[in-house]
């Protein structure tokens, strides 16, 4: 499971600026999709090839009046409590405020690794102004400028060093994937009340499915292994599952942290949408994170049983509009409660996994690329004529296609999308994101 870092602080100290800087590496991937990058509250940061989930808790708080402490919504406190490390951001220019002290008091109570960071400190590293932050009783204060990037990398390093030893890098832990192991790791994600627990219970109660005894809990994360026919699966829990006789029940409510970790740890994510609510902002946020994480996904439109024909049409439109960046995902209408549509859902999960792990031989990729160029050549951009020459597979899960050629920096977005569609069709890549990387030789 990836470590989780929560950014905490009163409004305007620069949390979202710092968040954007820390998570920028992956932003490029989603920048293309209008409306998706605005308002993001979670992302992943990269340090020495290791990933960390970062949550901007400012995005989770409510905007009503009142003391800061009360305004921070329960999701914020829950995220702070579940995070492995807290970065407490203050404004180095404004100095210590009452709100900082209020938050500091709460953070001291929960007794969790915390790094105190003074932002907006460009050119004031040794300033006496920062001394007052020692009053917070949270140890050393570290100066950064999120806007200019000063000190940010060292700060992340310092934060990572404060993580509990269980997160210490193990040699080669990333590479240790058993090629023989075809167990499909599934995470069920979605808003509170979408029907996730009902779906999981319906699965685990299915006659054709054999659930094995639950292994012990590690860091609160539970994995439930089970088998359906010949195929083995492992369910990564997002809500604290507990076995109660033959059924499982969720023992806690929606958790942002568990959802993010489960998505990162999964190979296929089932995104459960509550058909009676339409596609909400929260659904779109979760979908955005799935895309960013590069996970294969199946959209399960649940509670289909309680919609009439008109409502069904409305819903289809809302999905088309708000999840347009996930057109590659299969859409399955189900009723978890009535156990309807579960067979097709399994088929889609298996297909998404197969697509995400598809092998694409270099010869075929290159031939397809050349056919695409012949069908429609890239446009000239000024004095440059981009010329894609050959392609090879750069990775799996999600599939990455690396294209080599000349002047590829000038290949238009629309041409890249054309290529993506071309490859998707040829390799039947339904259910998985596809990444195209360009390597230009001049």
Site residues for ligand GDP per CB under 6 A: 9, 11-17, 58, 119-120, 122, 145-148, 190, 192-198, 250, 302-303, 305-306, 335-337
CB of 56 to ligand GDP, least distance (A): 7
CB of 238 to ligand GDP, least distance (A): 9
Dihedral sign for Cα 316, 322, 323, 324, please.
Answer: positive
Q: Is 122 annotated as a binding residue?
A: yes
CB of 161 to ligand GDP, least distance (A): 22
Pairing outcome for strands 4-8 and 50-56: parallel
What does the DSSP assignment read for 257-279? HHHHHHHHH-SEEEEEEETTT-S
What does the DSSP assignment read for 190-228? E-TTSSHHHHHHHHHT-TTEEEPPPPPPBTTB-EEEEEE
Q: Which is nearer to ligand GDP, 183 or 314 (CB)?
A: 314
CB of 15 to ligand GDP, least distance (A): 3
CB of 302 to ligand GDP, least distance (A): 5
Torsion of CA 253, 258, 264, 270, to 10 degrees: -10
Q: Which is nearer to ligand GDP, 345 or 434 (CB)?
A: 345
CA angle 306, 307, 312 (to 5 degrees): 150
Q: Which is nearer to ligand GDP, 88 or 415 (CB)?
A: 88
Q: Which is nearer to ligand GDP, 120 or 387 (CB)?
A: 120
Q: Which is nearer to ligand GDP, 286 or 365 (CB)?
A: 286
Q: Is 178 annotated as a binding residue?
A: no
Q: Is 58 annotated as a binding residue?
A: yes
CB of 140 to ligand GDP, least distance (A): 19
Q: Is 126 annotated as a binding residue?
A: no
Q: Which is nearer to ligand GDP, 12 or 376 (CB)?
A: 12
CB of 397 to ligand GDP, least distance (A): 26
Q: Which is nearer to ligand GDP, 36 or 286 (CB)?
A: 286
CA distance 149 to 319: 38
Instruction: Tell how far CA 279 is from the center of its chain.
Output: 18
Pick from 397, 415, 399, 418: nearest CA to 407: 415
List of residues 6+ apart from 348 with CB closer than 8 A: 298, 330, 332, 431
Q: Is 338 annotated as a binding residue?
A: no
Rg (CA), the chain: 23
DSSP, collapsed to helix, strand or coil, labels residue 8 as: strand
Pick from 249, 306, 299: nearest CA to 275: 306
Determine contact, residues 441/404, Cβ cutoff 8 Å. yes
Q: Is 104 annotated as a binding residue?
A: no
Alpha helices in 140-183 (DSSP H): 152-161
List of residues 6+ apart from 123 with CB closer than 8 A: none
Q: Is 397 annotated as a binding residue?
A: no
Q: Is 359 annotated as a binding residue?
A: no
Q: Is 305 annotated as a binding residue?
A: yes
Q: Which is nearer to ligand GDP, 286 or 368 (CB)?
A: 286
Q: Is 64 annotated as a binding residue?
A: no
> Binding site membership for GTP: which residues?
9-16, 56-60, 119-122, 190-197, 237-241, 302-305
> Binding site membership: which residues?
9-16, 56-60, 119-122, 190-197, 237-241, 302-305
């Amino acid at each position: 499971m990836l470590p989780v870092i929560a950014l905490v602080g009163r409004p305007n100290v620069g949390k979202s600026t710092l968040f954007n800087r820390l998570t920028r590496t992956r932003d490029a991937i989603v920048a293309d999709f209008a409306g998706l990058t605005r308002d993001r509250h979670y992302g992943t940061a990269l340090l020495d090839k290791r990933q960390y989930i970062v949550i901007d808790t400012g995005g989770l708080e409510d905007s009503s009046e009142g003391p800061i402490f009360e305004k921070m919504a329960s999701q914020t406190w829950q995220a702070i409590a579940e995070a492995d490390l807290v970065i407490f951001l203050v404004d180095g220019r404004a100095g210590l405020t009452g709100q900082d002290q209020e938050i500091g008091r709460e953070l001291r109570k929960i007794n969790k690794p915390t790094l105190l960071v003074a932002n907006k400190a460009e050119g004031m590293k040794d300033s006496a102004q920062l001394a007052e932050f020692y009053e917070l009783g949270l140890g050393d204060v570290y100066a950064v400028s999120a806007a200019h990037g000063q000190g940010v990398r060292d700060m992340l390093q310092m934060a990572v060093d404060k993580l509990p030893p269980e997160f210490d890098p193990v040699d080669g832990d990333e590479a240790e994937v058993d090629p023989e192991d075809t167990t499909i790791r599934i995470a069920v994600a979605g808003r509170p009340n979408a029907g996730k627990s009902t779906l999981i219970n319906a699965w685990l109660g299915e006659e054709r499915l054999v659930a094995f005894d639950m292994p012990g809990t590690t860091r609160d994360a539970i994995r439930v292994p089970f088998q359906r026919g010949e195929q083995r699966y492992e369910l990564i829990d997002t809500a604290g599952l507990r076995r109660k006789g033959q059924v499982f029940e969720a023992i806690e409510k929606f958790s942002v942290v568990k959802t993010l970790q489960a998505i990162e740890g999964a190979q296929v994510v089932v995104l459960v949408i509550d058909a009676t609510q339409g596609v909400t902002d929260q659904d779109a946020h979760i979908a955005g994170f799935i895309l960013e994480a590069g996970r294969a996904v199946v959209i399960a439109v649940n509670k289909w049983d309680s919609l009439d024909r008109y409502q069904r049409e409305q819903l289809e439109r809302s999905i088309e509009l708000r999840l347009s960046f996930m057109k590659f995902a299969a859409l399955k209408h189900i009723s978890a409660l009535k156990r309807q549509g579960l067979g097709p859902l399994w088929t889609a999960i298996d297909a998404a996994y197969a697509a995400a792990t598809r092998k694409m031989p270099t010869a075929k990729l290159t031939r397809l690329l050349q056919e695409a160029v012949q069908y429609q050549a890239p446009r000239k951009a000024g004095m440059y004529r981009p010329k894609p020459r050959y392609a090879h597979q750069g990775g799996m899960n999600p599939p990455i296609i690396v294209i080599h050629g000349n002047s590829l920096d000038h290949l238009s977005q629309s041409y890249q999308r054309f290529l993506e569609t071309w490859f998707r069709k040829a390799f039947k890549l339904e259910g998985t994101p596809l990444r195209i990387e360009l390597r230009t030789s001049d």
